[in-house]
Structure 1
Amino acid sequence: MAGVSEGASGVPDPRLRPYVLGYEGYLLRGFDPGTHVGMPASVLTVIITIDEPIELAVSSHPDQPGGTWEMLASGLTTRPCVIAHNGYQHGVQLALTPLGCRALFGMPASALGSWIVDLPEVFGPSARELRERLAAAPDWPRRFEILDEVLLRAVRPAHWDAELAHAWALLSGPDPAVRVAAVADEIGWSRRHLGNRCGAELGVTPKDLARIARFERSHAMMRLPEPPSLAEVATLSGYYDQAHMAREWRELAGLPPSVWREREEFPFVQDPQPAGIAG
């Protein structure tokens, strides 16, 4: 049986959009069992399964063993995880901004780091309510309405100072030529202070945030129905050349882009588009 991918994308209530970029509902069935690489991203990932739990054979944190989760939250990371699947997955994924981590979980993204945690640990009883109600809902629009309802009830307004917010927008944005030194100069901070603030709030360095954004751009291009050549992807994404992109992919995805493109058959949603590409 050929694999079938069914799902839907949802845009959160306007009051949530500084904190949640989008909802992705997915139902994947009929695929051959295998593994899938969960890529680093400039957003935090929240997954709420509807049927079977999600199994991570390899975690994104080097000190965390693999495991299974009915619901999970994960922070920013420069390491991939490996997702094992039996050809079937059903659930909803949320893309949270780092500011959303403060607004919904009451903590900076750095507190999560690259660890994967049970969602109830950071979201409390509302996590169980979400899973039960999403599973009982008849369709994706109703599930997205439930997400809006529960998240709006839980969200607490959160703010960054203007300099950090602008640095985040530049480093995670669509400009392939962004440089950390130029960002520090633009906001009036030293590189050291920028690094300290990013580490304390985001859990990654400014350099790594720019690397992740560049990687996301290349990954999104390679997922297009008719992707450009690898050399074109490298240029458009901001890499020096194709060899530079291949080195970065080995570190961030665990394999070069050419190998990933040959092997990846499971159209999973753990690979969200960066905000600059998704708009």
Structure 2
Amino acid sequence: MPGDSETLLRRYEFVTPPSRLPGLVASATGYQSTGNPIGLHRGLPSPYLTFILALDDAPIIGAETPDEAVRPTAPRAEVLLGGLHARPAYVVQPRDQVGMQLAVHPLAARRLFGPPTRELTDLLGDGTAVLGSGAARLRERMAEAPTWAERFDLLWDYLRRRVEATERAEAPPPALVEGWRWLARFGGTGSMDGLARHLGYSGRRVSQLFGTELGVSPKQIGRLFRFDLARRQIAGDIDRTGRSDLGRVAAERGYYDQSHLVRDFRQYTGTSPSGWIAEEFRNIQAGAHRSPEDSPA
């Protein structure tokens, strides 16, 4: 256990203002921490595309396994992209770090970046090219800005110009947008038969819609919604009371029982709920797990 002096040296700051591109960017969180224990951070699956922008001199180092992440050959990037995935990614946590993390709606990929989410579904990758030719300069200007307010101004202005430049991009099929909203409305607990009936399509046609644009099935998206909401509910409980009733969370989020929730946690985080809580306790207390929006435009 760290001593009192080491604990006092740690500082955690998370800033999450409302999105200025609702329906496209679910959330943008600025973070700054000092005195971290050097180790690995688990990047967890979610129903959103994740971008991490380093705003300091250290590159982001991440890989698909813990062993790969700590090797000298581990991929390094100033902008890291995490696509839709069903297992944790591992990012090296330096002692001090400053950056920004975006949660982007998968159905907004064409409007913001050009290619559909289907082409961005690798577990981890360099996101600089995806953000456009001005991404490197954007990151530099954000790093130089003295306040979070100015950094967010630069970000939203850049992304808004990206949307304007791709205004003629092909929109996702309306049925797919409605299917996403239906899954979000039920927090991933709606059945696939219910989704097909709602859209008036066969189950096979619904799967084709999701696969063509997103590269994953509607069932996978539903499971990600359910897990993401359960994880955030647990974090909210811990923030308010210091504990969470996993049985209650499982029941409220549509799991068969607590064991079912634990199995999902092990798949998506690589550890148990209690193990994840122990790892993330300080980040939770500092406000790192606020919920993004869940409805595309």
- Normalising by structure 2, we get a TM-score of 0.84
Match of 1:30 among 29, 35, 45: 35
Counterpart position of 1:210: 222
Is 1:46 aligned to residue 46 of structure 2?
no
- What's the CA shift string for 1:130-176, capped at 9, x where partnerless? 10110111101111110111111111235322211110112234535
For the pair shown, the structure with the greater C-alpha radius of gyration is 2
Read off the aligned partner of 1:6 and give its amino acid letter.
Answer: E
Is 1:194 aligned to residue 206 of structure 2?
yes
Rounded Cα–Cα distance in structure 2 between residues aligned with 1:97 and 1:161: 15
Contact 1:42-1:172 at 8 Å conserved across structures: no
- What's the CA shift string for 1:239-270, capped at 9, x where partnerless? 10001111111111111212222333462898
Counterpart position of 1:241: 257
Counterpart position of 2:90: 82
Rounded Cα–Cα distance in structure 2 between residues aligned with 1:261 and 1:6: 18
Rounded Cα–Cα distance in structure 2 between residues aligned with 1:261 and 1:120: 32
Rounded Cα–Cα distance in structure 2 between residues aligned with 1:182 and 1:275: 23
How does 1:87-236 map onto structure 2 within 5 Å? 87-155=95-163, 156-157=166-167, 159-175=171-187, 177-224=189-236, 225=239, 226=241, 227-236=243-252
Counterpart position of 1:20: 25
- Normalising by structure 1, we get a TM-score of 0.89
Q: Residues 124 and 263 (structure 1 numbering): CA distance in 2 closer, same or farther, change over 3 Å?
A: closer
Rounded Cα–Cα distance in structure 2 between residues aligned with 1:113 and 1:276: 19
Read off the aligned partner of 2:279 and give its amino acid letter.
Answer: R
Counterpart position of 1:275: 293
Contact 1:36-1:264 at 8 Å conserved across structures: no
Aligned to 1:77, what secondary structure does the other structure show?
coil
- What's the CA shift string for 1:56-100, capped at 9, x where partnerless? 14369x9xx842221122211111111221232211111111122
Contact 2:64-2:123 at 8 Å conserved across structures: no
Counterpart position of 1:55: 61
- What's the CA shift string for 1:109-132, capped at 9, x where partnerless? 010113422222222221112101
Rounded Cα–Cα distance in structure 1 between residues aligned with 2:63 and 2:159: 30
Q: Structure 2, unaligned stretches of length 5 or more?
A: 1-5
RMSD: 2.3
